[in-house]
Structure 1
Amino acid sequence: MASEHVRSYFQTLQYEEHILTFSEQTATVVQAANALQVIPARIAKTLSFYAADGTAFLVVAAGDAKIDNAAFKAAFQVKAKMLSPDDVLTYTGHPIGGVCPFALATNMPVFLDISLKRFQTVFPACGTANSAIELTCSELKQFSDAKDWVNVCKAWDAELK
């Protein structure tokens, strides 16, 4: 089960107690923001894409950000095409609604969008549709083993903090 893998991963980091579990669904940005009582932009949504070589990679972005197709193609040399639901589970090991950049089923690269950097902390999921964890951007980069920061999103409000 995805949540057990994520929990075990954070246990090895002595961070397991920071995982938040909710009785309500947190599968969407709006649901997660409501459960956490934060603005939707602070939800760190994990998006999964096909790479040019047919493998996959993740981009973690702020909840109010949308993929900018031109910037995405410039950064990754491929058109933004999200994974199918079956491939999401195969590549990440996490069900849709709980996809996160931790304890992945495959060794897929993770990138963080700069839309997250305006916040002290953000809330990515933890492998289920009713979990999250509050992390600083530095912790998110470290715990997700992110390759780099990218600028592949648009429509986010730079004034929100």
Structure 2
Amino acid sequence: MTHVPTAAPEPVLDHPAVQRVAAALSAFGVRGTITVLDDAARTARQAAVALGVDPAQIANSLVFKAHRPGGAEESLLVLTSGAHRVDTVKVADLIGLETVERADPQFVLEHTGFPIGGVPPVAHLRPPATLVDVSLARYDRVWAAAGHPHAVFPTSYDELLRITGGQPAEVA
């Protein structure tokens, strides 16, 4: 069953994380409006069902622990199509890292300021290095999280590159 987004309930749009994303999007000149979903969309599949789109049109914001040669650890944001699984070995090799591993919820919250399921591509507490899945370029419109499991916004591949300063990459 497809759930079409309805009028935005005030609490979600007033949530501080969503407000932070809205301010960042406005500062970048993003025209897409934050949409509030009836149900939480913590996965690409859930978001796609709620929006009536293909899961490949969901730009998942996945946070990884990136280990630099010599042991330094930092966050890495990979914006990937909801149809893909990130190949961490490929990503590590691509950008010269020793290893890349999926971050735990506490690491994600500490580095981004957002909980898993609502991590947007922008407005992070510590702006991470970012890779943007080239497969998202196939679509005129993709959807990304807006700081809350019920909030998303429409964007495009080119806009994701612009607003994140991300690097195009084949991540799957």
The answer to whether the superposition gives a TM-score over 0.5 is yes
Of structures 1 and 2, the larger Rg is shown by 2
Pick aligned residue for 1:66 from 85, 102, 120 = 85
The sequence identity of aligned pairs, in percent, is 28
Pick aligned residue for 1:57 from 76, 94, 105 = 76
Matched residue pairs, number? 152
SS in 1 for 2:102: coil
TM-score (norm 1): 0.87
TM-score (norm 2): 0.82
Write the deviation string for residues 95-127 of structure 1: whole angstroms up to 9, x where unpaired. Answer: 110011111111211110112122112111111
> Quick one: distance in 1 between partners of 2:153 and 2:118?
12
> Quick one: distance in 2 between partners of 1:16 and 1:93?
23
> Quick one: distance in 2 between partners of 1:126 and 1:16?
14
> Quick one: distance in 2 between partners of 1:11 and 1:69?
32
Write the deviation string for residues 29-80 of structure 1: whole angstroms up to 9, x where unpaired. Answer: 1110011100111000011111222111101000001122432231132323
Correspondences of 1:1-161 after superposition (within 5 Å)? 1-15=16-30, 18-52=33-67, 53-76=72-95, 77-146=97-166, 148-153=167-172
Q: Which runs of 5+ in 2 are unaligned?
A: 1-15
> Is the 1:23–1:130 Cα contact (8 Å) retained in structure 2?
yes
Q: Which amino acid aligns with 1:70?
A: V
> Is the 1:20–1:132 Cα contact (8 Å) retained in structure 2?
yes
In structure 2, do the counterparts of structure 1 residues 116 and 55 end up closer, same or farther at CA, with 3 Å as the change threshold? same
Q: Which runs of 5+ in 1 are unaligned?
A: 154-161
